[in-house]
Chains A and B, each alone.
Chain A
């Protein structure tokens, strides 16, 4: 029926799809589908929202109409949707992205049984969806046997390899273009079926095809954060020193792949503690495959650990900041390495001072403003300082422009700006002369825009490329006949501040960069930069830290929580750009407000369909949900993160961590109600 609808060009389903191949499912080798099962692989439906057919039509309206006519018949089976229903079959995944998921240090059971003070509780976090405002999309254009995909991807290199393997094509025949991304937060990191479908459809109808996910699709077709259940036990001495941490997590994964929200891994090193056990179990449910979402693991994991620490502080009658300082980890006790640099105590101090923490009356419910209950809470924030190999090129052109290019991506964090800034600094020219080109698989290779690794991976490469361009320019100048550089070796020539001149001479005696090109008839000079992490990775533990301070105002009549004030202090190494860094700080805090107070995807346990698959039922923070946010940075360079002296770790993800527990702790301080189940909605406070 759908095939005969007006304007329909093709209806593709498992019965008539071309052969597709399961790609390597290996992040480290840059081939990573969002889901191991290939679309249309068989006639099994594993979860609600799984694609069963795609319709290609002349117009969107015609395609949508035809889709209404598709009839699908199923043999219905009972789905498993809830974690509890699958708990008996929970299993122990071994590793996740190379990290062990179950580890023990010391003897936590003995330590807990002997501890002067203990606390144990279960903390739960719901399924959350990334919901960037730009839905994922793919435009496929075939030119003979070559395919160009205009994508919304956080990783053009990963997309190229994964799509190539799935379609059974050489990588060289595939071109991925993704110059701008309307937010990703993790859901555009790996290759999801729509990218494959657009390629298949374009081939079938022999013309370009555009495939846009609807908002509803965004809830089932590009990943989510798993629900988590975390049982945390803490043991401490009377003076607050931790003697045991046990962090036991159960997460969901799908029937067709494995993704583990590694909640407990941070608990192994965030505080000094001799006895630590971390365990992760997974259950398989009939829900789409989870995927990384801004601070995967850390975000829900810190909700549990930092809430538990607040509860311990009350048991000890101790200030929550003081408790954390008492347990400060001077080295990474799990990795047994010193930190590359760590200014967490400075974060506590800066944040507390700006917030006015010293004026806090610890008793719950003791701070009021008229009828309104005021609560102050805090939590530690943390995220690893990841770095990957990366490359960039810097091209100096005859017209004076400088092109800075790399196959990295910018999803809003400011990569365009900071790369131009670094190149302008090195070359000593106005930033207006720099043009940055990103998000194209033909450019020098770069890692995924995820894991907060872009700044530490790409800026050193950019700097090196700019230096290389200047070096080549000096060599070129040395070849110029009848010039100020005649008989000069390249080492005796200086290229800086936009001019090339003899060493020891005044810059005005030389020539502008572009004049050297013109007078040697060179159209351009290309500097190359490639940098990668080295042996420092085995010597030091690289980690960013921070402290979140939150004030909530709770109207006890209607249990409405308003986050009236947030002060965040972060140690992320050197701040490259104060403006974009502050914006990233706002960004994380605002998303953290959503995690704390509203975000929650609800499934119908009867058939696994998503009840909240739109932006009215899945609430995310609006402008009026945040008031005053203050972002502070320690701004001290990490001396070991790169060998080029930049000293910057990333900050895309740490900024969201710690917000939800700080809010929960503030809500407890305001109301005396300890909410261990996110989000903190009014029904839980009434």
Chain B
């Protein structure tokens, strides 16, 4: 993450304004809505340079989906509780709903669309298909992004180690046994 000192100050000013409006609304005092603020940013998404003008309130998740039309990343809770929106930011897994797009100037973002290389699926993607590691598929992009990051994280060898490190990604269909099997198989291959 790289925010210049000016950006950060600006960010705090905007956030504070929004909060005070909310507080005033609750107390019944009418307040003129402040106009939204737009910022320009440049980042790399799936290896390509991207320039965006974003409303400073837009999360990275909504910028990816609504502005860049990358619908692979899913919104399950918008609160960082389900993991469906997991993407890689500078090589690490990040919940894209919990971070504002404006904070990612100059960052390197990989989404599930950017995981394959030259038309060849990532080993984790191959393994998920082989092991039927998803049912409805909605949490799957997040599971795969977490699993792909896990391959480069310190993680013990056992199934329980994988279960622990994959527990930030909820799957309501309960594909967990197959997800663990898929990841263990991909770890063997990678």
Interface residues, chain A, CB within 8 Å of chain B? Answer: 1, 4-7, 59-62, 65-66, 68-69, 71, 130-135, 180-183, 185, 212, 214-215, 411-414, 579-580, 582-584, 586-591, 614-616, 620-627, 629
Complex-state Cα separation, A134 to B36, whole angstroms: 29
Q: Which residue from A5, A66, A586, A624 sits with its C-beta under 8 Å from B164?
A: A624
B170 contacts across to A, CB distance below 8 A: 133, 615, 620, 622
Residue on A with the closest CB to B180?
Answer: A623
Evaluate contact between A615 and B77: CB separation under 8 angstroms.
yes
Asked if A183 contacts B177 (CB within 8 A), the reply is: no
What are 10 contact pairs spanning A and B, CB under 8 A?
A: A69-B33, A133-B84, A135-B75, A135-B76, A215-B77, A215-B82, A412-B134, A615-B81, A623-B166, A623-B167
User: Which of B132, B135, B169 has the most A CB atoms < 10 Å from its CB?
Assistant: B135
- Which residues of chain B have C-beta atoms less than 8 A from A620's C-beta? 170, 172
CB of B175 within 8 A of chain A?
yes
Q: With the chains together, A684 CA to B137 CA distance in Å?
A: 36
CA distance A260 to B62 in the complex (A): 39
What is the chain B residue whose CB lies nearest that of A132? B172
Tell me whether B171 is interfacial, beta carbon within 8 Å. Answer: yes
Pair count A-B, CB < 8 A: 148
In the assembled complex, how far is the CB of residue A111 from the closest CB belonging to chain B, in whole angstroms? 40
- Determine chain B's interface SS by DSSP, over half rule: loop
* A68 pairs with B135, CB closer than 8 A: no
Partner of B136, one of A6, A183, A586, A591: A183
CB pair A60 B62 closer than 8 Å: yes
Q: Is the C-beta of B22 less than 8 angstroms from some C-beta in chain A?
A: yes
CA distance A627 to B180 in the complex (A): 10
Query: In the docked arrangement, what's the CA distance between A588 and B176, Å?
Result: 12
If A69-B33, A413-B135, A614-B77 touch, whether A622 touches B177 (CB-CB below 8 Å) is no
> Across the interface, do B173 and A629 meet the contact criterion of CB distance under 8 Å?
no
CB pair B28 A71 closer than 8 Å? yes
Are B55's CB and A183's CB within 8 A? no
Contact B136 A626 (CB under 8 A): no
Q: Is the CB of B76 within 8 A of A68?
A: no
Out of B164, B172, B178, which one reaches A591, CB within 8 Å? B172
Q: Is the CB of B135 within 8 A of A131?
A: no
B163 pairs with A61, CB closer than 8 A: no
Q: Does residue B113 face the partner (Cβ distance < 8 Å to A)? A: no
Closest CB in chain B relative to A535 CB, distance in Å: 35
Interface pairs A-B: 3 shortest CB-CB: A590-B174, A182-B138, A412-B136
Given A586-B178, A615-B170: A182 and B75 within 8 A (CB)?
A: no
By the criterion CB–CB under 8 Å, are A623 and B169 in contact?
yes
Q: Which of B58, B78, B169 contacts A215, CB < 8 Å?
A: B78
A624 touches B136 (CB 8 A): no
Given A586-B178, A587-B173, A589-B174, also A180-B136 (CB < 8 A): yes
Say yes or no: A1 contacts B30, CB within 8 Å.
yes
Assess whether B48 is interfacial by the CB under 8 Å rule.
Answer: no
Q: Which of A6, A182, A411 contacts B36 (CB 8 A)?
A: A6
With most chain A CB atoms within 10 A of its CB, the pick from B35, B137, B176 is B176
Are A583 and B178 neighbours in the complex by a CB distance under 8 Å? yes
Starting from the known contacts A61-B62, A591-B172, 6 additional A-B residue pairs (CB-CB under 8 Å) come to: A6-B36, A134-B76, A180-B137, A185-B172, A586-B176, A614-B81
Q: Would you give the 0/1 interface string for B148-185, flagging 1 where the beta carbon is closer than 8 Å to chain A? A: 00000000000010111011111111111111100000
Chain A residue at minimum C-beta to C-beta distance from B164: A624
Across the interface, do B79 and A627 meet the contact criterion of CB distance under 8 Å? no
- Give Cα distance in the complex from A625 to B18, angstroms: 39
Are the CB atoms of A182 and B74 closer together than 8 Å?
A: yes
B187 at the interface (CB under 8 A from A): no
Chain B residue nearest to A215 in the complex (CB)? B77
Indicate if the CB atoms of B137 and A627 lie closer than 8 Å. no
Chain A residues with CB under 8 A of B44: none
Are the CB atoms of A133 and B139 closer together than 8 Å?
yes
Asked if B57 is at the interface of the complex by the 8 Å CB criterion, the answer is: yes
